[in-house]
Structures are given as C-alpha cells and as structure tokens.
A and B are shown apart, each in its own frame.
Chain A
C-alpha cells in the first residue's frame, strides 16, 4: 500500500513537514496521525483525497493522494 501525503500553506510551515508517502492507513485521520506524529489537529484543517474535499473519517486506499491544508483564501 502507498498513500502520497501533501501539506500546503500555513499548515505546512507550522508543522514543518515535507510531503511523503506512507505505507498503511485506513482513514484520513490515521494518515494525519502517522504523518504528524499524532499532532493535535487544528479545528480548521481541510482535507482532500484525490483532489476532492473529504472528511477525516473518510477511508483511504492504495494509490490515493491525501492533502491537508488550511481554509482557502484565493480570489
């Protein structure tokens, strides 16, 4: 199993974390715990699986790309 994990913007800086792959996880919440060493999750963190918004309870599967980021501020 391989899940590609990405972080963006202030969240990436605050956690001082690089993008990487993990070998095993059942849910987005588990992906967060594994990649951040169980860092407490800020309330406003958003997540996407394969470019679509998802929930922390969402399941993940082999080959997924999971991204964590703060509220968006474009436009």
Chain B
C-alpha cells in the first residue's frame, strides 16, 4: 500500500508496472482496477492552458493514507497505489493514479471507484487554472458525469 504526492510529472503505466513488481503480490491477484485522471484543456466550456495544484502537504499525505486504510477495511484488497500530482501541470499531464489489486474483480473495481470520489471530496488539493483572461481557482468538483 502506498500513497505518493509528486511535484514532477509521472508515467502512470510505468508506475503501475513498477509497483506491481516491487510488492509481494506474487500470483495472488486476479484483478487490477485503475483510474488515471488527466488534465483537460477546457473546463466549464472555457479553454485552460495550464494549472497549478496546491495542497496542504501534511494533511494531504495523511488523508491519502487514511483513504487507503479505509478502503482496505471495506474491501478484500491485496494492494493499493495512489499517486497525485501537485505544482505546475499542463494539458494531457496525468494528475492522479489510483490502482487497486484484488483476487477477484468486484473488490478492486468498487474500491477504485470509491477511492476516486472520496479523494476528490476529502483530500486537500486545490486547482488554479490559467485561462486566456487570467488565473482562476476551481471552486468545486465536476459531478463526474
């Protein structure tokens, strides 16, 4: 189980592969559910050219680890990896990776979906977008639909 907050860009596919190799999953897992959040070049029908992700370092790390603990209590999971970017981000950059491993599919799928929503509503990150006419703080999450 691991949660990382990164100031530099990352390749989520490599991160999943490296984490899977580095842990003691052996041959127990039959399911890996992943979610990768990527920066769009628009929001609310307005073009966005860049973004700054601010966070509250100690609380953010604490909450990511707390969410992992809660997920492992709710589902029978073999492993979880969460990576979240902070700092300067460009369109198409990965922002967030959540990966869950389990013996059977339902646990990892449900846990991954739950972690996405809980992270977005509880972990202290804030987005500031650069638009053509200035910088704007994002005031609320999209509804995800």
Contacts and interface: CB of A to CB of B under 8 A. Distances in A.
Contact of A74 (B55, B58, B128, B139): B55
A71 B140 contact: yes
Interface of A: 6, 8-10, 13, 48, 51, 53, 67, 69-75
Contact of B96 (A6, A13, A69, A75): A75
The majority secondary structure among interface residues of chain B is mixed
Contact of B59 (A9, A10, A51): A51
A3 to B, nearest CB: 16
A12 to B, nearest CB: 9
B88 to A, nearest CB: 15
A69 B55 CA distance: 10
A68 to B, nearest CB: 10
Contacts of B95: 75
B126 A8 contact: yes
A72 B54 contact: no
B138 interface: yes
B125 interface: yes
A69 B84 CA distance: 19
Interface in B89-145: 95-96, 116, 119-128, 137-141
